[in-house]
Amino acid sequence: MADRAKRMPARRAVGVYAGLAAASVFALLPMLWGLSTSLKPESQVFAVPARWIPQVLTLENYRKVLFESQIPLNLLNSVIVSVATVVLTLVIAVPAAYSAARFRFRGKNGLLFFILMTSMIPGIAILVPLYYLAVKLGIYDTYQVMIIIYAAWQVPTIVWILKGFFETIPVEIEESGRVDGCTTAGSFLRLVLPLARPGLGAASIIAFVYVWNDYLIASTFVSDPDLRLVSVGLYSYLTQYGVVWGQLMAAVVVTLVPMIVAFVVFERRLVAGLTAGASKG
C-alpha cells in the first residue's frame, strides 16, 4: 500500500507535465510556423508539400516591414499609448487599492464589488456612447482618447490585484515608520511602495499587454493612419487582392518581440505579484 501511495503522486506529476508540454507545443507551433513563413519568398508560402524549413531563406519580408511600411510607426504609437496607459492606471489604482486594503469604512465591500463589476461590461455595449463623447469633446483621433478609455477599463482589475498584494504587507512596517516620525503618506511612499514592486510590476505587465493586443478601441477611435496602433496596422496586409502572408508574418514576429522581452525581464515580478495577490484574494 505504501508503494502504491508513492506511485500515485509520481503518476499525477507525469500527467501534469505531459499536459503542460502538450499545451506548450500547441501554443508554440503557430508561432514557429509564422516565423518559418516570414523567412520564405512569397512564391514558397503555398508550396506543396509544405516545408517547415524554407528551401531559400530570405529577409526581404523583414526589410519591407521595417523600411517600407508603417509598422515601425505603429509600434511607436503602441509603445506611447501602452506606457501612458500603464502610468495613468497605476496613478489611479495604487491609492485606491491601498485604501481598500488598509482602511475600513461603511460600504467598502459593496463598492469594491461594484468597481469589479464595471470591468465585466462588454466593451461593444458602450462603444457608441464612448464614440459620441469622444467626438463631442474633440478628442477623437488622438492618443488621449485611447489612453483614457484603456485606463478606465484596466483600473478595476488592477485595483483588485494590488489590493490583494497590499494586504500581504504587514501593517507593523507602517506602524514602525510612524513611530520614527513618518506620516501616513510618508510611510506609504517610503516603506510600502518599495515592497510592492512585484505587485506593481505584475499590474503594469497586465495593463501593457491588454493595450498592446487590443483591436476594438484602437480601430474605433482612430482613423488617422499615422496614429494607428500596431494591432490595427497589421490589417494593412489583408488587401482586396489577398493576404501578403510573408510580410504579415514578418510584421507579427516584429510585434511579438516587445512582448517576449517584457515577459523575460519581468517574469519573476509578474509571478510573485500575481501569487501574492492571490494568497489574500
pLDDT higher than threshold 90 for residue 148: yes
Alpha carbon distance 20, 29 (integer Å): 14
Q: What percent of the chain has pLDDT over 90?
A: 28
Q: What is the pLDDT of residue 120?
A: 81
Q: Is the dihedral of CA 125, 129, 135, 140 positive or negative?
A: negative
Q: What is the pLDDT of residue 184?
A: 75
Instruction: Tell me the average pLDDT of the chain.
Output: 84
CB 131 within 8 A of CB 223: no
Q: How many CB atoms lie within 10 A of CB 24?
A: 10
Q: What is the pLDDT of residue 276?
A: 58
Q: What is the pLDDT of residue 281?
A: 43
Mean per-residue pLDDT, 244-263: 85
Q: What percent of the chain has pLDDT over 70?
A: 90
**Which comes out higher in pLDDT, residue 268 or 141?**
141
CB 166 within 8 A of CB 192: yes
| Cell 485595483 -> residue | 159
- To the nearest 10 degrees (0 to 180), the angle between helices 197-213 and 245-280 is 150
pLDDT higher than threshold 80 for residue 38: yes
Mean per-residue pLDDT, 191-196: 84
DSSP state of 142: S
CB 157 within 8 A of CB 165: no
pLDDT higher than threshold 80 for residue 31: yes
CB 196 within 8 A of CB 162: yes
CA distances for 2 relative to 7, 211, 231, 276, angstroms:
9, 52, 56, 35
pLDDT for 60-102, tens place per residue? 889 999 998 899 999 999 999 999 999 999 999 999 998 888 8
**Which comes out higher in pLDDT, residue 42 or 150?**
150
| Cell 464612448 -> residue | 130
Q: What is the pLDDT of residue 17?
A: 85
- Assign 147 a pLDDT band (cuts: 50, 70, 90): very high
Q: What is the pLDDT of residue 57?
A: 84
